[in-house]
Amino acid sequence: MTPADVCRAYLAAFGTGDADAVTSMVTDDFVNEHTAALGSGCTGKDEYSRRVPGFFASMPGLRYDVEDVAAQGDNVYAAYTLHTHVNDRDVAVRGVMHFRVQGALIAQRTDYWDSLVFQRQAGLA
């Protein structure tokens, strides 16, 4: 699997709703970073594994539709549209994730998305 394939598979795993499928794809020292005000990062697979079920619960029907992927070595950038259903509203937010891949696992993820767009679509702002 190429680093780009690893990232595509990781994003596709969110659509299964299976937290173990998502967290099995990250390193033990995984760094999860968010640039948006609503995002909450963490370090370590154990902490990430603790958080993913709550993330799924807050984002019913979550899926990432990948628009484009660019890779240079172990650095991968994936443009996506996140889809979910919150407060009886369909939500679609575009963003980009930067990944650093180590072997067949993701070592770091930095997610760039606009939390105000999410809040407006979900009726929270």
DSSP structure class, residue 36: S
User: pLDDT exceeding 70 applies to what percent of the chain?
Assistant: 100
pTM of this structure: 0.95
Residue pair 76/66 in contact (Cβ under 8 Å)? The answer is no
- pLDDT tier for residue 39 given thresholds of 50, 70 and 90: confident
Q: Which domain CATH number covers 94?
A: 3.10.450.50
Distance CA 64, CA 15 (A): 7
Asked if 100 and 74 count as a contact pair (C-beta separation under 8 A), the reply is yes
Tell which residue, 72, 73, 83, has the closest CA to residue 11.
83
Q: What percent of the chain has pLDDT over 90?
A: 95
Residue 38 belongs to domain spanning:
3-121
Report how many domains make up the chain.
1
CA 16, distance to chain mean position in Å, is: 13
